[in-house]
Amino acid sequence: MRFVHTMVRVSDLAKSLEFWCDQFGLIETRRKEFEKGRFTLIFLAAAKDLETAQRLNAPELELTYNWDGDEVLETGRSWGHLAYRVDDIYATCQALMDKGVVINRPPHDGHMAFIKSPDNISIELIQEGGSLPPQEPWASMKNTGTW
């Protein structure tokens, strides 16, 4: 068995691609347009997964955009979050903040942080290789909203 992808629906394709690619840093691997079904599938991969994603079409995040956009997107209680390992939790969070992304749960402990996509999808950021020593301003930064 091999993990292939996680699919999430998006309500605004341009805004979602700005977040997932320009701000968060994922890379589009392929796109499929379905005229008859009136939807688009866009597959994204993290930079360290890009070679594997291009070769195997996995592991990826699949964004599904329905062209007519009349559906209200909600997440159920069974949904949790997506998780990505990062090389430097502090640098990643600072880069995201510099691009306008709210850090909902700052990396107080040098290990974990949470952000949300424009469609309210929780994303956990985990420090690669174990926690970094706590440092300011992160250690005392307040949580914002939910995650």
Q: Tell me the catalytic residues.
A: 124
The residue whose two tokens read 């969070």 is 93
What does the CA dihedral 106, 91, 7, 51 come to, rounded to 10 degrees? -160
Residue count of the chain = 147
Of 92, 87, 79, residue with least CA distance to 127 = 87
E-state strands within the chain: 5-10, 27-34, 39-45, 60-66, 82-86, 103-105, 112-116, 122-127
